[in-house]
Amino acid sequence: MTALRELVAENGPMALTLGGLVIGFAFGAIVSKTNFCTMGSISDIVSFGDYRRFRAWVLAAVTALLGAQLLQYAEVVELARSMYLAPSVNWFGNVLGGLMFGYGMVFAGGCPSRNLARVGGGDLRALMALIVIGIFAFMSIGGLLGPIRAWLEQSTAVSLAALNTPTQSLGDVVSASLRLSPTTGALIATTAVAVAGLAYCFKDEGFRSSPVHVLSGIGVGLCVTAGWAVTGLAFDELAKQPVAPISLTFVRPAGDTLEWLERFTALGLPGFGVSTVLGAILGSFVTAAATKRFTITTFSDKADTIRVLSGAALMGIGGVLALGCTIGQGVTGVSTLAIGSFISFAAIVTGGVVGMKAFERILMAEV
């Protein structure tokens, strides 16, 4: 393992670029082929009472959780170095950002990951949505909205110092509360969450008998696990600018991709996030072309344009506040056992349900 880590770390930028492209390609192909869609899962529940795609989302999170924790145990990745495991919980950002993101993704026709798959299938609405997501994400990180976002975080974040935990991981909370070793605490928390998640998914006969939903959840979870492996091995704390371990997430990378396209000659090789965005588009394009589903589509009318772009703006702002999207927090963040990720997941689902009902009312009024 040490030799492999040294080999990857010595070629860190290239490993992150190639690894991101391959993982993104696989992710895009899976989403396109299986119709894995987190917004669609909420739509299925609200409109038809069908929970299969939602269970696929939960299975993806459980698969990623088991994979990430095994990688940490094997010392492939240090999850504590990731952005999710801060020593404080930004609960207000998780809630407000999650609600905004969930509400916005309904009007934008899907979350960033779904829009990446649609771009590969020829949907120009999805391309515009991703551009707007990237712009508003950067505005919220260090642009016009940055000071407001930073003030909200500083004013509402809750420190876990009283619990004497180094991070907000549920494993650290368990180990500190029960006076156990960090490894034992992580094992207990992982087992509890994984058993609960698997029981929820497979207790439903409709889900168990639907291979496409089961395989889509496992496939997306494995892509997230692979992301942790690549970025964990490539991490070099002695590098001039160490890149913290991360896996699939698509809000900030949408903005990073715009910047890379504009400043390629200054930035050089694309980082992991940009590579996953490009890889996802390529993977979904190849899948759509192979299945003869590639079709150029665009906005149907002015109202459609306003809905999609306004929803994308909400996702850009909300995704930064919540520190991730349906994949970035709902799967990748959950795999670290971060408390904030579970809060964001619940807020995104709630925002999606509210947004779905509001969207239906708007469509009824237009008719």
42 Cβ contact partners less than 8 Å away, ≥ 6 residues apart = 54, 102, 106, 349, 352, 353, 356
Please report the pLDDT score of residue 9 as a whole number. 74
Region of 175 on the Ramachandran plot (φ > 0 left; ψ -120 to 50 alpha; else beta)? alpha
What is the tens place of the pLDDT at every residue in 332-367?
A: 999 999 999 999 999 999 999 999 999 988 888 876
Q: In the chain, helix, strand, coil percent, each to 5?
A: 75, 0, 25
Distance CA 87, CA 169 (A): 9
> Global pTM?
0.95
Residue 304 has pLDDT above 70, yes or no: yes
Distance CA 266, CA 284 (A): 29
Task: Give the tokens for residue 156.
Answer: 């509402």
What is the tens place of the pLDDT at every residue in 197-251?
A: 999 999 999 999 999 999 999 999 999 999 999 999 999 887 777 889 999 999 9
What is the tens place of the pLDDT at every residue in 238-287?
A: 777 788 999 999 999 999 999 999 999 999 999 999 999 999 999 999 99
> C-alpha angle 277/54/29, rounded to 5°?
30
Answer whether 102's CB lies under 8 Å from 347's CB: yes
Per-residue H/E/C for 250-301: CCHHHHHHHHHHHCHHHHCCCCHHHHHHHHHHHHHHHHHHHCCCCCCECCCC
Please report the pLDDT score of residue 162 as a whole number. 81
Residue 46 has pLDDT above 80, yes or no: yes
Secondary structure class of 89 (helix, strand, coil): strand
